[in-house]
Amino acid sequence: MNKSMIWELITHQLTPQREKEVWEQINSSPELLAQYKHMKTIWSLSESDKVFPNETISDKYKAFRTQHIKQRSKGIRILSVLKYAAILLIAFASSYSLWMLNNMQESSYSTISHYETGNGSINTIELSDGSQIWLNANSSIDIQKADNNCVELKLDGEALFDIVHNEQRQFIINTQSLKIEDLGTKFNVRSFKDDNVIIASLIEGEIQVSHIKKQFNEILIPGQQISYSKADGQYTISHIDTTYVGSWKESKFEFVDKSLEDIAKDLENWYGVSITFKSKQLEKERFTGVIQKSTSIEKVLDVIAYSAGIKYSINQINDHTEIMIQ
Amino acid sequence: MKKLIQQHIDVKLIRSGDEGAFEKVYTAFFNSLYFFAIQYVDKKAEAENLVQETFLSLWLNKESISGQSSGSVKSWLYTTLKNKCLNYLEKESNKHQYNNYQRQKQKVDIDILEQMQISDVTFTEIEKLLFEALEQMPEQCRRVFELSRFNGMKNKEIATELNISLKAVEANMTRALKALRIHLKDYLPLCFLLGLF
């Protein structure tokens, strides 16, 4: 084993099979491992490759500037964004910036875009007018319509919307039984198939929430939350503290007076485990706390167990983790 | 010692929120930072996302950048990105989807990043290696190489700039590469030298 072999590993010049063999050798010798670490450090700092041509970077900067730096009134902002619409297409290369509504004047979207997330991942969808959507774990969004006059999408799961208001354009979110229309706004919608309730919480602006069968129609103001029960079709509007609404996008679990039943659902979505309760009584226990999502499930359970005074056990069955709370 | 990094970054302008200066930093370091991130974060979109977050972080925390030299902005960017890569890897290592080999590598990568000390000195050392090699090159050969590597010029542009033929540029480039290869063979891999252009 010599230096050049380590270099070949670091710079990905080996076949997958050979790569593993070389790695085995390095990993079993402290001396080689130290050398590997040193060489990888130098390599990563060496600025050895220019992946993006200058033009691409300058386009990326324009998009970055539009989104984060430029602070003007909304009307002007949207106009100048339209000017850049063609340029923004290039930023599409990154799956994280999913630009749509490009060239709104010419194109009509016949294809439906689909975005989804699995366990433990959050995705961001950015619209070319600066609007942003964060998609929580195990959720999906289907863009059903996107033209100058209307953007319509279907949500299954939970998402936080920060929508730049545009008088000329409708922005509609369809869930299983509710239709939510943005009137310029930041709000969170939670509508998982398995949940009994659909919840929309408004942080800023105004949204209109209506039943798909037109049974009701409500306009929410900031700090209001509508909670719709799928079972009986009843809904309540309550006042909430919006500090923690949508906090899931910050890679933290923030539970504010939340029942263990709801907390368990969040944990199931994030960690891909299943959680059962020994008694119904426990499900109703309420808990408040903040936990980093990078924490292991065991630690999260330890924290909750300690503060809520519960016990839990973990069973590993094949590839699946089952947790029992008692 | 002559600085190999050509872009001069005015830290004062960055602190005061000058957009032009910020754009300069963004375009000067985007590729370098992406190259760093992709060594540890093997998903391209994630790596780019971390780089974007790093620049956003610079913009939001611009007042707190200390130091005077271009190098202090560079160190700040790399340190911030390093921590973001570290957070990412630690989060990933909790997931079940990786095989043994990937897990071991992730663990070692976390070690590398945790131990990595980034300062002006680190870059100076890497520059020094290159500089020493360049020093030993014939004048014309070195200029061709510098224009290509540090000014990002194409062979045609270099020919115009130095008023020599395209053939001469190519020949000098080959000589420069050969000289570098001999000098740096113990430090950097062949593909580093080839990947320069």
The two structure tokens encoding residue A121: 């991942």
In a domain, A86, yes or no: no
Together in a domain, A146 and A227: yes
Contact at CB, A69 and B189, closer than 8 angstroms: no
Q: Chain B: nearest CA to A137, how far in angstroms?
A: 14
- Grouping H, G, I as helix, E, B as strand and the rest as coil, residue B192 is helix
Contact A160, A188 (CB under 8 A): yes
d(CA A146, CA A151): 4
Together in a domain, A193 and A107: yes
CATH number at residue A276: 3.55.50.30
Q: What is the pLDDT of residue B113?
A: 94
Which CATH code fits B11-118? 1.10.1740
B49 vs A10, A37, A96: nearest CB: A96
Contact at CB, B49 and A51, closer than 8 angstroms: no
Q: What is the pLDDT of residue A88?
A: 30
| pLDDT tens digits for range B101-131 | 888 999 999 999 999 888 766 777 777 776 7
Q: What is this structure's pTM? A: 0.46
In a domain, A50, yes or no: no
- Of A209, A244, A279, the last residue of a domain is A244
Q: What is the pLDDT of residue B186?
A: 56
State the burial class of residue A321 (Cβ atoms within 10 Å of its Cβ: 0-12, 13-18, 19+).
middle
In a domain, A120, yes or no: yes
Together in a domain, A235 and A273: no
Contact at CB, A94 and B49, closer than 8 angstroms: yes
Together in a domain, A304 and A230: no
- CA distances (Å), A84 to each of A59, A101, A102, A128, B24, in order? 9, 12, 9, 9, 20
Q: Which residue of A has its CA nearest to B102?
A: A20
Together in a domain, A238 and A288: no
Together in a domain, A128 and A162: yes
> Which residues of A fall within a CB distance of 8 Å from B104?
23, 27
Domain ranges of chain B: 11-118, 136-194
Q: Chain B: nearest CA to A6, how far in angstroms?
A: 9
Query: Residue A170 — φ and ψ, nearest 5°?
Result: -90, 145
* Overall domain count for chain A: 3
Q: What is the pLDDT of residue A92?
A: 30
Together in a domain, A272 and A314: yes
For the CA atoms of A292, A298, A300, A302, the dihedral, rounded to the nearest 10 degrees, stands at: -140
Which candidate, B58, B90, B141, B128, places its Cα nearest to that of A296? B90
In a domain, A203, yes or no: yes
- Of A211, A244, A277, the last residue of a domain is A244
Selected residues 164-193 of chain A with any CB under 8 Å from a CB in chain B? none
User: Which of B88-97, B146-155, B186-195 is predicted with the least confidence, judged by mean pLDDT?
Assistant: B186-195
In a domain, A185, yes or no: yes
| pLDDT tens digits for range B123-167 | 777 777 767 767 777 788 888 887 877 666 788 888 998 888 888
Together in a domain, A105 and A237: yes
What is the number of other CB atoms lying within 10 angstroms of the CB of residue A53? 11
Together in a domain, A131 and A222: yes
- Of A195, A229, A244, the last residue of a domain is A244
> Which residues of B fall within a CB distance of 8 Å from A90?
none
Together in a domain, A232 and A273: no
Q: What is the pLDDT of residue B1?
A: 32
Q: What is the pLDDT of residue A264?
A: 87
d(CA A45, CA B36): 6
Q: Please say if the pLDDT value at position B189 is more than 70.
A: no
Do B11-118 and B136-194 come out as alike in CATH topology?
no
In a domain, A22, yes or no: yes
Beta bridge partners of A313: A324
Which candidate, A162, A163, A189, places its Cα nearest to that of A175? A189
d(CA B170, CA B136): 19
- CA distances (Å), A68 to each of A60, A62, A89, B57, in order? 12, 10, 18, 11
Range of the domain at A304: 251-325
B45 vs A61, A96, A296: nearest CB: A96
Length of chain A: 326
Check CB contact of A99 with chain B, cutoff 8 Å: no
Query: Residue B92 — φ and ψ, nearest 5°?
Result: -65, -35
A60 vs B30, B32, B40: nearest CB: B30
| pLDDT tens digits for range B24-60 | 899 989 999 999 999 999 888 899 999 999 999 999 8
In a domain, A296, yes or no: yes
CATH number at residue A167: 2.60.120.1440
Q: What is the pLDDT of residue B188?
A: 55
Ordered per-residue pLDDT tens for chain A, 326 residues: 676 788 778 877 788 889 999 999 999 999 999 989 988 888 788 776 778 888 899 999 988 888 887 653 333 333 333 333 322 322 232 223 333 333 333 333 333 577 777 776 777 777 767 778 888 888 888 888 777 778 888 888 888 888 877 777 888 888 888 888 887 678 888 888 888 888 888 888 888 888 887 778 888 888 888 988 888 888 888 888 777 777 777 777 777 778 888 888 888 888 888 888 888 888 888 877 777 777 778 878 887 777 777 888 888 877 788 888 88
> Which residues of A fall within a CB distance of 8 Å from B27?
54, 57-58, 61
Which CATH code fits B136-194? 1.10.10.10
> Which residues of B fall within a CB distance of 8 Å from A293?
91
In a domain, A61, yes or no: no
